[in-house]
A and B are shown apart, each in its own frame.
Chain A
Amino acid sequence: MVAPCLSKIIISSESASSSIARKVTKAWPDVDTIIVDDPASYDRKFDMDDDPVLSGKRTLVVAPNKGRFIRKCPGTMGLVCCNYYVIDLAEGCSIDCSYCILQGYLNDRRIRLATNIDDLEKEIDETLADTGRPIRLGTGELSDSLMFDNELGLANILIDMIRKRPQATLELKTKTDNIEKILDIDPAPNVVIGWSLNTPEVIARDERGSASLDKRLSAAKKVVDAGWKVAFHFDPLVIHPGWQDGYRKVVDGLFAVAGPDKIAWISMGALRFHPSLKPIIKSRFERSDLLKSQFSLCPDNKMRYVKPLRKELLAHLKSLILSRAPTVALYFCMEGIEIWSDVLGGSPASLGMLDEVFG
């Protein structure tokens, strides 16, 4: 079990009586907790601390979300987009990944958890009505979907919302093994539990505070055995010593716990990062091999492995996965049509994935 390490909880006074605030105070009775009128006025950047990013990850703000909960995943101009809708129930993450863009967000480094979850239900209906077609939603964009789930059980509230709406598919994406509460309820056919996978070396060096690979796979097996659909994300794929064999073992492990018929989709994405993240990775993750490869600056202003390496990496994974599950829905995240064509042999449309994955 991955237990978040909180050192301070700030609850907005207007949320103090909400069910989520009550769950929070019950879950962490020993953590220094204050109720304030305006959580935004408290130190949000922690610049006076040795590691402001880490200090932010140890501070939980519980307050209503004043904006919208659902937004279309922005994707990137020129790259193939998977039409994902992001639910921002929480922003910020207790897991500390070297490649995470949230480290570069300077405005508010704290984890913010929304309390007005009831408003989300209305937004889901609005989004379904607006699009007029099935949609795929997920909470794992700005945080880990299950980071607090053993303590707060928020996933089950979301699952119950989605269960009643067959036009929507919800993915809960995680690097934890926090599935205790999910196992307490009946599987929902339109809910997928997704795991981000990587080699044990990358997990140890670059995903601090996450569950080990074995624990993630063991958790996946439990939910598969309980009747849930699962998904897997090889993202970011990282070139590091022994990566070919390392990823082969991860793929072996994946298919040992979930047969192709239990897998909703698998995605792959080679490491990419904004250049401003480079000094942060260097200073915060001294043991990381992340930057020890060949990168070029791409038109979307992100650093990626130079094309031959990127193709080799993605082609290797594709071949490992499709040799085990030739019909599994496999897609790339944040790659251009050129890489799709070269590695997967066509665009999502030509590969017939538009309905299955891309909505």
Chain B
Amino acid sequence: MIPSGSKNIKLVELKLEDIREDDRYSFSYPADPPALLKSVKKTGVISPVWVTPSPDEGLFNLVSGFRRFTAARKLRIETITALLFENRDQFEMFLLCVEENAASRAFNQVELCFIVSSATENFGKSFNELVDVLFPILGLSKSRKIYNRLVDLARFGPASHDLIARLKMQLGSVTNLADLGADDREAICLWLTENNFGLSKSVKLIETISEICGIEKISVNAVIGGAEADTPSDIDPPQRGIKLFDNIMNRRNPALKQMQDRFDSNVRDLKLPAGVTVIPPKNFEGKNLDFVIKAGDAKRAVDSAKAISGADKVKLAKLFDWI
């Protein structure tokens, strides 16, 4: 928050052309959200951006409000209201900007990594300095593991950053991406985005694909290519996503896939009426099968039950051959 009554803060109206973006203070991601452009177009820039005096006389450095500034520039707005901070230590200013943002919204992991990375690289702060002054503002535990993960994340490419920010991935879920090489990481993130996978499926796929890469010693593109080749391209995108997901999972656990295939084949051999499904325990851990009858009326239910009880006993017994 801005200290009240402070003498070295002024509210000023500045020309956009006199303001330079100081990238050391830029950590918002995505940097250019379309919703903000719409809002600025409709109501103008309501909150002042923050600037500090530039060493070049008559110019100012933008330190907070980058997205508002970008939107204003795109809309060819000529002047903008700004809070001018004078005689400030640069890192103190950086912390103030972070604190101001933190008070109004939750940072995503990409923003967190940009903040930590900027504090380290642009302001030369060490881990021990950051955990005491910056981590509390960010709501992070004082942990070197978290710091290392954020520093790793800052080195990721744009496709990875887009996916992580869009799906609001937590830092723990990003670890599997960090284990991949840069090309593999970008490839998998791009593919997940293109196929519109949600958070939980994306996290599972990243984990599983990286495991397959480790076991089979192949690239991410080889795993993805295999799944794409085994999945018809002419089905609806949501169905295709499910098939792609299943293909990857089956490649990770072929023994489980074999059991499932054998089980499905044994169920088909029974020739049970439509509406009867046989469900094995999850991952075949357990001994009981569920016979589910879906019937619109009592007669159909009775007929289905009769069909099950009258099924070939040898074929019925084969259903249990995984035990």
B252 at the interface (CB under 8 A from A): yes
Binds A, one of B31-39, B105-113, B283-291: B283-291
B88 to chain A, nearest CB (A): 30
25 residue pairs A–B, Cβ–Cβ below 8 Å: A48-B142, A48-B143, A48-B144, A49-B144, A50-B144, A52-B145, A279-B172, A279-B175, A282-B179, A294-B253, A294-B254, A296-B253, A296-B256, A296-B283, A296-B284, A296-B285, A298-B283, A299-B285, A304-B285, A306-B253, A306-B284, A307-B285, A338-B286, A338-B287, A338-B323
Tell me the complex Cα distance, A279–B256, Å.
23
Residues of chain B within 8 A (CB-CB) of A252 are none
Asked whether B314 is an interface residue with its Cβ less than 8 Å from the other chain, the reply is no
Q: Choose among B143, B253, B282 the residue that contacts A295 (Cβ–Cβ < 8 A).
A: B253
Pair B322/A307 contact, Cβ less than 8 Å = yes
Q: A48-B142, A294-B254, A307-B284 are in contact. List 10 more A-B contacts (CB 8 A).
A: A47-B141, A47-B143, A282-B175, A295-B253, A298-B285, A306-B259, A306-B283, A307-B283, A308-B259, A342-B323
Instruction: Give the Cβ gap from B43 to chain A, nearest Cβ, in Å.
Output: 44
Residues of A within 8 A of B254 (CB): 294
Which residues 262-282 of B sit at the A interface, judged by CB distance below 8 A?
282
B298 in the interface (beta carbon within 8 A): no
Shortest Cβ distance from residue A31 to the other chain B in the assembled complex, whole angstroms:
23
A309 within 8 A of B: yes
Q: Which residues of A contact B2 (CB under 8 A)?
A: none
Inter-chain CA distance A308–B260, complex, in Å, is 12
Q: Is A291 an interface residue (CB 8 A)?
A: yes
Please provide the chain A residues from 298 to 348 with a CB less than 8 Å away from any CB of chain B in the complex.
298-299, 304, 306-309, 338, 342
Identify B144's interface contact among A47, A304, A309, CB under 8 A: A47
Task: Give the residue name and chain of the B residue nearest to A78 (CB).
Answer: B286
A292 at the interface (CB under 8 A from B): yes
Determine if B214 is an interface residue (Cβ-Cβ < 8 Å).
yes
Closest 6 pairs between A and B when the two form their complex, measured CB to CB: A296-B283, A47-B143, A294-B253, A292-B215, A306-B255, A306-B256
Interface: A283 (CB within 8 A): yes
- A27 at the B interface (CB under 8 A): no
B23 within 8 A of A: no
Binary B-proximity of A95-135 (CB < 8 A = 1, otherwise 0)? 00000000000000000000000000000000000000000
Cβ-defined contact, B214 with A294, below 8 A: no
Q: A185 contacts the other chain (Cβ, under 8 Å)?
A: no
Q: Which A residue's beta carbon lies closest to that of B215?
A: A292
A283 and B323 alpha carbons, distance in the complex (Å): 35
A49 CA to B143 CA in the complex, in Å?
8
A331 → chain B closest CB, angstroms: 20
Q: B211 at interface (Cβ–Cβ under 8 A)?
A: yes
- Chain A interface (Cβ within 8 Å of chain B)? 47-50, 52, 278-279, 282-283, 291-292, 294-299, 304, 306-309, 338, 342
Query: How many residues belonging to B are interface residues under a CB distance threshold of 8 Å?
Result: 31
In the assembly, what is the distance between CA of A48 and CA of B286, in Å? 43
CA distance A295 to B255 in the complex (A): 10
Residues of B near A278 (CB, < 8 A) are 207
Taken together as a complex, chains A and B put the C-alpha atoms of A295 and B208 apart, in Å, by 11
Q: Is B165 interfacial (CB 8 A cutoff)?
A: no
Chain B neighbourhood of A297, CB < 8 A = 282-283
Q: Is B131 an interface residue (CB 8 A)?
A: yes
State the Cβ distance, A306 to closest chain B Cβ, in Å: 5
Contact of B142 among A47, A308, A338, A342 (CB under 8 A): A47
Per the bound structure, the CA–CA distance linking A278 and B179 in Å amounts to: 13
Report the Cα distance A282→B282, complex, angstroms. 26
B132 to chain A, nearest CB (A): 11
1/0 contact string of B121-160 vs chain A (CB within 8 Å) = 0000000100100000000011111001000000000000
Which of A50, A296, A297: most chain B Cβ within 10 A?
A296
Query: Quick one: closest A residue to B175, CB to CB?
Result: A279
CA distance A306 to B283 in the complex (A): 7
Cα A292 to Cα B214 with chains together (Å):
8
Which residues of the partner chain B approach A47 to less than 8 Å between Cβ atoms? 141-145
A309 touches B143 (CB 8 A): no
Instruction: Establish whether residues A291 and B211, one from each chain, have CB atoms under 8 Å apart when the complex forms.
Output: yes
Write the chain A residue with the least CB distance to B128: A48
Query: CA A307 – CA B19 in complex, angstroms?
Result: 65
Q: How far is the CA of A198 from the CA of B98 in the complex (A)?
A: 52
Nearest-neighbour CB distance to chain B for A236, whole angstroms, equals 18
Complex Cα gap A292–B254 (Å): 13
CB distance from A80 to the nearest CB of B (A): 14
Nearest CB of chain B from residue A79's CB, rounded to whole Å: 11
A289-B250 Cα distance, complex, nearest whole Å: 20
Bound form: Cα–Cα A304–B131 in Å = 38
Query: Could you tell me the distance between the alpha carbons of A294 and B211 in the complex, rounded to whole angstroms?
Result: 10
Q: Please name all residues of chain A whose beta carbon is closer than 8 Å to the beta carbon of B322 when the two chains form the complex.
A: 307
A309 to B214, CA, bound (A): 20
Contacts of A279 in B (CB 8 A): 172, 175-176
Residues of B within 8 A of A295 (CB): 253
- Tell me, in angstroms, the Cα distance from A294 to B259 when the chains sit together: 13
Chain A nearest CB: distance from B177 CB in Å?
12
A50 to chain B, nearest CB (A): 6
Distance, CA A296 to CA B255, complexed state (A)? 11
Specify the chain A residue showing the minimal Cβ separation from B323: A338
For residue A342, which residue of chain B has the nearest CB?
A: B323
Whether B175 contacts A294 by the Cβ 8 Å rule is no
A91 to B: closest C-beta gap in Å:
23
Distance, CA A52 to CA B146, complexed state (A): 12
- A292 to chain B: which residues have CB within 8 Å? 211, 214-215
A338 to B282, CA, bound (A): 15
